[in-house]
Amino acid sequence: MNIINKKWLFLAIIMTFLMGHSNAQMSHATPLSGKQLTQEFIQQNLCYPEKALESNSSGDVVVGFHVDAEGNASGHYVKSSFSEEANPIALDLVRKIRWAPATQNMSPVDSDMEYTVEFRTRAYRRYWKKHQRVVMPLTLDFDTSYAIYETRQLEEMAKPYFEEGGNMAHYLLSNLKYPESARAAEISGTVRLSFVVETDGSVSNILIDQSVGGGCDNEAVRLLQETHWIPAVKNGKYVRSHNLQDITFNIGTRNYQDGNAY
């Protein structure tokens, strides 16, 4: 074999190796709102099994499921669990998570996934010592399909609920903390968030559709996380619904928690 043929054979071997290595590279499906916000949603909405809480029993429930190339999750089942009572709680929470599909060579593909819901008595008690559960005045049955509906499909849209009355504008005006970094850089603008209002009125799957930066995005997410909603209605039942919320940061107006204008 001459030198030229050896050279081309060597290059072919290298290219085959690189292509095979590239084909083997695959990114896993990930929660659309990211790992941290998903964990915070789980923490805020976890209902600890009564017997496990009384006995200080902690552990994990691992939920398996399939995510198709369009990001649809299905076939949820419990792979392992520390408590039978915890199984339906974990399944319900994981079914509410929206997913970005796995990719291979930058193309979306089907994949089998699992998600671990942690039940920790100490963390649970510590969280609810600092927070207060809101009892929602819900009077209808819940839709159990986990389908998410758009505004045009609804009989009644989801609307924010405040125990002491008021509205979203008043809530934002009273609770918005203008980030120091944004104030120093004179950053202002409107953060647009998309999210799902669940059938129990909780907020999930928060996405930043329009960013401002300077810490404003994080503050907008914090404000939305602390709201509660009357769920949307379709066919006489509470359903999951897709929603948008704009939160404006405007230097020079009274939108600081201390009431000062800057």
The answer to whether residue 17 sits within a structural domain is no
Q: What is the pLDDT of residue 63?
A: 98
**Residue 169 to residue 89: CA distance in whole angstroms:** 34
Where is the domain boundary, 84, 108, 130? 130
| Per-residue pLDDT at 10 exceeds 60 | no
DSSP, collapsed to helix, strand or coil, labels residue 107 as strand
DSSP-derived letter for residue 31 is: E
Structure tokens at 131: 């927070």
Q: Which residues pair with 236 in a beta bridge?
A: none
For 27-71, the pLDDT digits (tens) are 999 999 999 999 999 999 999 999 999 999 999 999 999 999 999
pLDDT of residue 1: 52
Closest listed residue to residue 204, CA positions, set 77, 30, 34: 34
Q: Is the pLDDT of residue 154 over 90?
A: yes
157 in any annotated domain: yes
> Do residue 167 and residue 236 come from a single domain?
yes
Q: State whether 111 and 201 are in the same domain.
A: no
pLDDT of residue 26: 85
Structural domain for 240, as ranges: 141-249
CA distance 13 to 251: 61
- Please report, for the domain that includes residue 234, its CATH number: 3.30.2420.10
Closest CA to 193 of 249, 250, 243, 245: 245
User: Do 169 and 199 share a domain, yes or no?
Assistant: yes
On whether the CB atoms of residues 224 and 245 are closer than 8 A, the answer is yes
Tally the domains of the chain.
2
| Position 228 in a domain | yes
SS3 category, 176: coil
Confidence of residue 166 (pLDDT cuts 50, 70, 90): confident
Q: pLDDT tens for residues 74-119?
A: 999 999 999 999 999 999 999 999 999 999 999 999 999 999 999 9
Q: Please give the structure tokens belonging to residue 70.
A: 């369009």
pTM for this structure?
Answer: 0.86
In a domain, 13, yes or no: no
Alpha helices in the chain (DSSP H): 3-24, 35-45, 50-54, 87-95, 121-130, 168-175, 180-184, 216-225
Please check whether residue 80 lies inside any domain of the structure.
yes
User: 3-state DSSP call for residue 214?
Assistant: coil
By the 8 A CB rule, do 71 and 103 touch? no
Residue 77 near residue 40, CB atoms below 8 Å: no
Query: At 80, is the secondary structure helix, strand, or coil?
Result: strand
Tell whether 58 and 109 lie within a shared domain.
yes
Dist. CA 114–CA 112, nearest whole Å: 7
Quick one: how far is CA 194 from the chain centroid? Answer: 10
